[in-house]
Amino acid sequence: MERLRRHRRGADSAIRAGAAAAAAAEVEAAGSPPAAADARSAAFFDVDNTMMMGASIYHFARGMAARKYFTTRDLARFAWQQIAFRLSGERPEDMAQTKEAALSFVAGMEVSEIVRLGEEIYDELMAERIWPGTRALAQQHLDAGQRVWLVTATPVELAQVIANRLGLTGALGTVAESEDGAYTGHLVGEPLHGPAKAEAVKALAEREGLDLARCSAYSDSANDLPMLSLVGHAVAVNPDSELRREARTRGWEIRDFRTGRKAALYAIPTAAGVGAFTGGVIAGVALQRRHNRGSPTPPARRADGHGALAGALGAALSGTLRRTR
């Protein structure tokens, strides 16, 4: 009975997260289809390791480290903890624990600051990491007059920056609650991950009048099977082993744009959505803002001392590793 209640709570949270993502999705005029377009069809693309080499939040964190919001040592710890978290299976209970540990840092952080930094860091570090093959697939849909959306656990503000830079229609991402332009420290629902992505796509399809049987979805991860299973045309892009097996079983198309060397260089496990974002990036920003208000401690030292990038995640992630040993 308790397991059933947890399942229902999880389903309700995924629905809330999906509805929030769809409600927050903005249409970029540059990517909007012409009047004569196929308005009932669209394509949905995962970001990390599908549209972009590696994890978008990791590249964002690199840019933050370069700006002295935290240290390169923190960045290395962040990358390792992402790997540990991915190896644990990204269990929902661990994601929830990580989220609760991290979100206390968010309150008061300005949304506009993240957007500004996202634009700068995309141009510096992310633009060159877009997979040309996946970008070409997205362009084919645009050329056919279809809308193209990113669907990612990355915070919606950063996801929208990526969509804007690529000339896509818009983005569905994790939604952090904000009031008067500042984060409150709470999520709306849960990170846009797994079933929540599928709920976001369904909510957007209802809002935009899409026929999911005529839509396409692209992802590298078996975590996105709920989203891939919704549409009439599913494509495994740079797939992990589980998704490759599933794609072969279901007769889905497989596209792999990696070489052996690139797979080794760029296969950085994806972050646990907004938990990693708020626990690392926003924590670093928040500490920097406190420093700017009068703290005598240099931001890099302060970030390292408090584990700005890794501290909020450390307890949850180390606990995850212990439980899997």
Residues identified as active-site: 46, 48
- pLDDT at site 159: 94
215, 43 contact by CB (below 8 A)? yes
The per-residue pLDDT string of the chain (325 residues; one tens digit each, 9 = 90 and over) reads 545 444 455 567 778 776 777 777 765 444 455 544 788 999 999 999 999 999 898 888 788 778 876 666 666 665 665 555 555 555 555 555 555 444 444 557 788 888 898 999 999 999 999 999 999 999 999 999 999 999 998 889 999 999 999 999 999 998 888 888 887 877 777 788 899 999 999 999 999 999 999 999 999 999 999 999 999 999 999 999 999 999 999 999 999 999 765 555 444 444 444 444 444 444 444 444 444 444 443 344 333 333 333 333 333 333 333 333 3
Nearby residues of 62 by Cβ (< 8 Å), 6 or more positions away: 75, 121, 125
Distance CA 148, CA 216 (A): 9
Q: Are 270 and 194 in contact (CB under 8 A)?
A: no
Torsion of CA 30, 148, 140, 231, to 10 degrees: -170
CB 204 within 8 Å of CB 27: no
Q: Which of 279, 223, 239, 241 is nearest to 81 (CA)?
A: 279
277 secondary structure, DSSP code = I
Please tell me the predicted confidence (pLDDT) of residue 248.
98
Sign of CA dihedral 233, 236, 242, 244: positive
Domain at 2-324, CATH class: alpha beta
The predicted model scores a pTM of: 0.74
* pLDDT for the residue numbered 29: 41
Q: What is the DSSP letter of 271?
A: P
Domain boundaries, the chain: 2-324
Enumerate residues 6+ apart whose C-beta is below 8 A from 167: 28, 30, 31, 142
Distance of alpha carbon 276 from alpha carbon 102, whole angstroms:
8
Sign of CA dihedral 309, 310, 311, 312: positive
Q: What is the pLDDT of residue 219?
A: 98
Which CA distances in Å does 305 have to 93, 300, 302?
Answer: 28, 9, 5
Measure CA 229 to chain center.
Answer: 19
pLDDT at 192: 87
Q: Which amino acid, one-letter code, is at 48?
A: D
Q: What pLDDT, on the 0 to 100 scale, is given for residue 308?
A: 34
Cα dist from 271 to 28, 183, 207, 294, whole Å: 26, 20, 28, 32
Beta-carbon contacts of 43 under 8 Å, excluding residues fewer than 6 positions away, are 137, 138, 141, 146, 147, 148, 149, 215, 216, 217, 218
Residue among 121, 115, 123, 135 nearest 45 (CA): 135
CA distances from 252 to 148, 217, 227 (A): 20, 11, 13
